[in-house]
Structure 1
Amino acid sequence: MSETALRTAAARTRELSLLMTRWPSVTGSPDEAAFSERLAAHLAATPYFQRHPDQLLTVDSHGEPLTRNVVALVRGKGRRTVVLAGHFDTVSIANYGTLAPLACDPEPLTQALLAELRSRPLNGAEAKALEDFESGDFIAGRGLLDMKSGLAAGIAVLERFAGRDAPEGNLLFVATPDEENRSRGMRSLRDALPEIARRFDLDIVGGINLDASSCERNGEEGRAVYLGSIGKFAPFAFVIGRPTHAGYPFNGTSAHRISAEIVRAMDTVPELSDEAFGERSPPPVCLEARDIRDGYDVTTPDRVWLSFNWLTHRRSASDIIGEFRAIVSGALQAALETQDAHAARYRGAAAASTDGLVLTYAELLERVEARGGAAALARLDALDRSLSGGTDPLKVSREIVSAAATEAGIEGPAVIVGFGSLHYPLVHLEHSDAGNMQAKLQRVMEDAAGRHGTSIKFKQIFAGISDMSFFGHRPEAREAGLLAANTPSAAVTDNAPEGLLAFPTVNIGPWGRDYHQKWERVHAPYTFEVLPDLVFEAARAWLGE
C-alpha cells in the first residue's frame, strides 16, 4: 500500500470537494445545468481524458429543465466494470439567511458560522455545531456533505485507478443531477447505461453509490457501508364529502371528519412499519392535509387532500395499495358511523346508515372514461402536461385527482386513493446476484479501518431516499404497471424501458451532520482520508483484483 497514493488521494478529495462546493447547483436552477459543463470541462483537462477524450461524455436527463449527466470511463484490462455514482444538485441556500452569499464557499462560511455561534445563546443543535467547528474536524457548506465530497472521493478514486499500470477491470464514474427532486438524472442515466455498456464493451458487475449519511454521536454510525436503500411510497387519500351550511351540519357529510379518521388510522402507527434485515422502518406520517378551496365561507369543505410518506423495508406496491385502501375504507366507515350516531343523539331519532365509496385512481379513470369518453381522458392528459414543469408533485397530483373526480361525477362521501409522487424502490444486496461480495467488502473494511485507526461497519438500509433505488435496479413489470395506473401525473411515474441492466450496489459515502440545514457540515478526516481509500479498495475487490 503506497502512502504516497493515499496522501495524493486525500489531498485531491479535499481540493475537489471545496472546488465543486463553490460551484452552486441548487436543484432546478440554471446553476444545476451549468455544473455538468463545469465538471466535464474539469475532467477533460486532466491527463487521462486528454489522452482519451472519447471516454468522457454527457447524457441528457429526463424532462425539463434540461440537465446532463457526466460519464467518465477509465479503462483497464477486460470487460468487468464497477460504476461509481453520485449526484451534484443541492437543496436551496435560503436557510443561511444573511450568510447565503457564503453558503457555497466552505472555509469562509465555516469561519462566519463560528463567529455567529460564538455571539449569542445557543440551543442544543447549535451548541453541537459550535463544538464540531471548534474541533477543526468539520467544514460547512451547502452540498459539501450532500454530496459533493462523495463525488470528489469518486473522482480521486478514478484518477488513482488511471495512474495504475494496466489495472484489472474498468471504472465508470457518473455524476447526476436532480436527486433532490425526482431522480431524473439517475433514471435517465440508468436508461442510457445499456447503450453505454455496448458502446464500450463493458460488463457492469457492481455499483458504489457515494451518498452521505449522518451521525449525531462520535461518527460510528456514519462510518458505514450500506447494503441497501429504503423504499418510499407516497399514498394519497382524496376525500369527497357532502358540503352543508355550518348551521345544518347533519344535512351533509364532513370531509374533515373522514380525513381525521384516516390520519388517526395511519399517522405514526407502529404496526405499519416493516421489519427486515434486522432493522425496522419508520411508520408512515402525514405530509399534507388540506381542504381544496380558495376562500372563506361557512360551508363544510367539499374536498380534502391527504398525502402520506410510507417508508418500507419489504412491502410492495400491491401490498401498499391494498393495505392503504383497507385502512381508508375502515376509517371512512368509522367516520360515517360516528356522524350518524351524533345526528341520532342530536335529533333524538333512530340512527341512519350513510354509505361511502372508496376507489383507486385507476378505478376513478375507468369512471371518467365511461362518463366522458376519450375527450375527458384527453383533458386530464392536457392538465398533466400543463402542470408537469412544477416542482411540487403533490400539488400536481392533487389538481389532477380533483379534475378527474369532477369529470367522473363522483358524489360524496367517497375517497380516492393512489400514489402522489415518485416511488423509490427498496434495494438490497440480498436481492441481487452479488455472490460473496459482502464477505469481500468485510475484508476491505477491516483493512481500511486498520490502516486509518478507525472503525467501519455494515448497515443494512440507507434511511434517506436516494438515487440508489434506481441504480442497478430493474423494476418488476407488474409492480411498475400498478404504480403507473394509480399515479395521476406521468411526470412522477417511472416509465422504465425494457432491457435495463441489473447489478448489485452498495452505498459508501461521507458522513457529517445536519445535511440540508444551515449547519450542514462534513467530517473532514474520514471524508477526505478514509473514504477515497475505502471506495478504491472496494472497487478493486469487486473487479477481482
Structure 2
Amino acid sequence: MTDDTAIRISAARTKDLSLTMTRWPSVTGSPDEADFSGRLHALLAETPYFQRHPGQLFTVDSHGEPLTRNVVALVRGTGRKTVVLAGHFDTVSIANYGTLAPLACDPEPLTRALVEELRGRPRNGAEEKALRDFESGDFIAGRGLLDMKSGLAAGIAAMERFAGLDAPDGNILFVATPDEENRSRGMRSLRDALPGIARRFDLDIVAGINLDASSCERDGEEGRAVYLGSIGKFAPFAFVIGRPTHAGYPFNGTSAHRIGAEIVRAMDTVPELSDEAFGERSPPPVCLEARDIRDGYDVTTPDRVWLSFNWLTHRRSARDMLAEFRAIVTGALQAALETQDAHQARYRDRAGAKTEGLVLTYADLIARLTARGGAAALARLDALDRSLSGSTDPLKVSREIVSAAATEAGIEGPAVIVGFGSLHYPLVHLERSDAGGMQDRLRRVMDAVADRHGTSIKFKQIFAGISDMSFFGHRPDAGETGLIAANTPSAAFTDDAPEGLLSFPTVNIGPWGRDYHQKWERVHAPYTFGVLPDLVFAAAMACLTG
C-alpha cells in the first residue's frame, strides 16, 4: 500500500470513528460513560488485528465510583520501544443545548439544526462566527466531537495504519480513559497500571502522545499545533472566620465579608500573580466561589465566608503557591482589620484596641484539631470525608470539611484557613523530560506533514486547558505530593501516586475547533480528519525509530 493510499484510508477511518463515537453519549459520571468502554472494546475487537491478537486488547478499572474502565489496545511490531497514544472519552453535560439536547450527540443532524436556529434569529458576534463556520462546510458540531472523540479516532486510525505495516519497528499502545472532565481518575488509574502493563508485555515506553483538543479563533494557525507542555492548576481556598454581631451593632464584631472582600481584591485577576515561562504567560488567578456559610436569614453578620480561586501556573511549585497565597491572605486580613478599626474610631470618635487576626494552613488547623480533640476528632472528620467522597463538587466537599474541622479545633475569629480545595494538576513540559531529542524529531515530522497537506503546523509551549497530560508520563515529586495532601481537606481530591511510576516525555497532538464545552462546540473537519491522523502516525514513528 502506498503512503498516499494509507493516508486516505486513515482519513476516512478517522471521520467514521469520530462520528460513531460521538453518537455514543458519555457525560462524565453517567451510566453512558461507564458503558462507553465496553462499546469501544467491542468495536476494536472486530478489527482484523485484534481478532488475531485478542489478548492485546483489554480494560483496566478506573479509580472511584461508579466503576468505569480504561480501554487498552497494543499493536506489536518488533523490539521493546513503545509509544503510548492516549485520550479521554467522557464529555461535559449536554444541558446547554436546550431543546436541541436530543441531537447533541448526533453531529450531522445537530449541525443542520444549529444552522437553522442561527439563521432564524438575531445573532451576537460569537453566533455570527459559528454560523459562518457551519455554512463553510468545514466545521461539524457535536458534544464531544471536538473534546475529544475525534482525537481518539485519529489515534485509533494511526494505530491501525501501524498495524498494516510489515514488521514495523517498535509498538503502539493506545489507551482511552474516562473521567478527564472531573478528576482525571481514568488517566491516573491507567498511569498506576502502566508499569505492570509494560512488564506483562515487555515494553519500553519511550514517549507519549496525548490527543486532546485545542481552540483557535482565527484561521486555525494556533490550533494546528504540537503542544510541548500542559498548564499547572491549583485551587487555593480561604475559609474566613469572623466574629458575628447584630447589624445594629456592627463594631461589636468582625465582618467576615470585609475580610473576604479584601482577599478577593488582592487575588482576582491581578496580573502580577501570573507567571512567565517558556516564553508564555499564565492567566492571573480568578475567584470561582465566594459565599457565606449559612442557610437562613437573620440580621447577624455572617460567622464564616468561603472563597475559592483558580490559579494557573507555568512554573510555580506547590510550596511557592501556598506560601504566596498565605502571604496575600495575611496582608488582606490585616488591611481589613485595620480598615474596620479605623471606621470604628471615626464612628465612636475614639480609638479602640487593635484587632488581631490569625492565618493558618489546613495542615496547621489539623494539628490544632488533633491537640484539642485527639483521635476521636480525627475519626469524626474522616467519617465526614468518606460520607462526601462520592460528590463531584470538590469545593462543596472541601468547604464542609474545613467548616467541621474549624469547629472541632475551636478556632475563634478573626481568622482565615488556607489550603487547596481541589485536585492539583501538575505543570508538565517536554523540557523537563526530553533527554532523547523528541522535539527535534517532531520538528522534522511536522514540516514533512505540513508540506504533504499544504498547511502549517507549529510548536506551542503550554496547553492552556487542564488536561490528562499532567498525569501522563509524569512522576510527581514526593515532597510536593506530601505538602498538597496535607493541605487538601478531602482525600478524594488528592493524587495518591504509588511508587515505581514510569516517566517518559509527552506532547499533545490533537484536533482543533472552537467553543468546546459550549452549544456551538465544533471541530475543524479538514484538519482533524485529514491531517491529524497522518501527523499522529508520523510522530509516533519518529519516536520509535529516532
Query: Which TM-score band (shorter chain)?
Result: over 0.9
Deviation at 1:352, TM superposition (A): 2.2
2:64 alignment counterpart: 63
2:211 alignment counterpart: 210
Q: Secondary structure at the match of 2:264?
A: helix
Deviation at 1:434, TM superposition (A): 3.5
1:87 alignment counterpart: 88
1:231 alignment counterpart: 232
Deviation at 1:436, TM superposition (A): 1.4
Tell me if 1:482 matches 2:477.
no
Deviation at 1:288, TM superposition (A): 0.3
Q: Secondary structure at the match of 2:190?
A: helix
Q: Secondary structure at the match of 2:86?
A: strand
1:491 alignment counterpart: 492
Residues 174-213 of structure 1 aligned to structure 2 (within 5 Å): 174-213=175-214
1:156 alignment counterpart: 157
1:538 alignment counterpart: 539
Residues 66-77 of structure 1 aligned to structure 2 (within 5 Å): 66-77=67-78
Q: Secondary structure at the match of 1:288?
A: strand
2:421 alignment counterpart: 420
Q: Secondary structure at the match of 2:37?
A: helix
TM-score, structure 1 as length reference: 1.00
Residues 118-133 of structure 1 aligned to structure 2 (within 5 Å): 118-133=119-134
Deviation at 1:439, TM superposition (A): 1.0
1:389 alignment counterpart: 390
The CA distance in 1 between the partners of 2:276 and 2:353, in whole Å, is 42
AA of the residue aligned to 2:114: L
The CA distance in 1 between the partners of 2:66 and 2:306, in whole Å, is 28
AA of the residue aligned to 2:14: T
Tell me if 1:473 matches 2:474.
yes
Deviation at 1:368, TM superposition (A): 0.6
| Contact 1:231 1:425 (8 Å CA) reproduced | yes
More displaced, 511-520 or 350-359?
350-359
Deviation at 1:433, TM superposition (A): 3.3
Q: Secondary structure at the match of 2:528?
A: helix
Percent sequence identity over aligned pairs: 87
Deviation at 1:108, TM superposition (A): 0.5
| Contact 1:344 1:352 (8 Å CA) reproduced | no
The CA distance in 2 between the partners of 1:121 and 1:92, in whole Å, is 26
The CA distance in 1 between the partners of 2:528 and 2:391, in whole Å, is 35
Deviation sequence 1:193-213 (CA, Å, 0-9, x none): 000000000000000000000
Q: Secondary structure at the match of 2:63?
A: coil
- The number of residues matched between the two structures is 545
1:147 alignment counterpart: 148
2:291 alignment counterpart: 290
Deviation sequence 1:327-374 (CA, Å, 0-9, x none): 000000000000000000000112420000000000100111111100
The CA distance in 1 between the partners of 2:340 and 2:409, in whole Å, is 26
Residues 245-284 of structure 1 aligned to structure 2 (within 5 Å): 245-284=246-285
| Contact 1:226 1:462 (8 Å CA) reproduced | yes
Deviation sequence 1:202-259 (CA, Å, 0-9, x none): 0000000000000011000000000000000000000000000000000000000000
Q: Secondary structure at the match of 1:59?
A: strand
The CA distance in 2 between the partners of 1:297 and 1:508, in whole Å, is 55
Tell me if 1:444 matches 2:445.
yes
Q: Secondary structure at the match of 1:78?
A: strand
Tell me if 1:103 matches 2:127.
no
The CA distance in 1 between the partners of 2:68 and 2:438, in whole Å, is 34
**Structure 2: unaligned runs, 5 residues or longer:** none
2:434 alignment counterpart: 433
Deviation at 1:2, TM superposition (A): 1.4
1:24 alignment counterpart: 25
Q: Secondary structure at the match of 2:32?
A: helix
Q: Secondary structure at the match of 2:81?
A: strand
Q: Secondary structure at the match of 1:222?
A: coil
The CA distance in 1 between the partners of 2:250 and 2:352, in whole Å, is 15
1:357 alignment counterpart: 358
Q: Secondary structure at the match of 1:487?
A: coil
The CA distance in 1 between the partners of 2:389 and 2:53, in whole Å, is 39
TM-score, structure 2 as length reference: 0.99
The CA distance in 2 between the partners of 1:463 and 1:478, in whole Å, is 25
AA of the residue aligned to 1:193: L
Q: Secondary structure at the match of 2:120?
A: coil
| Contact 1:104 1:141 (8 Å CA) reproduced | yes
**Structure 1: unaligned runs, 5 residues or longer:** none
The CA distance in 2 between the partners of 1:376 and 1:146, in whole Å, is 44
The CA distance in 1 between the partners of 2:466 and 2:223, in whole Å, is 16
Q: Secondary structure at the match of 1:132?
A: helix
AA of the residue aligned to 1:169: G
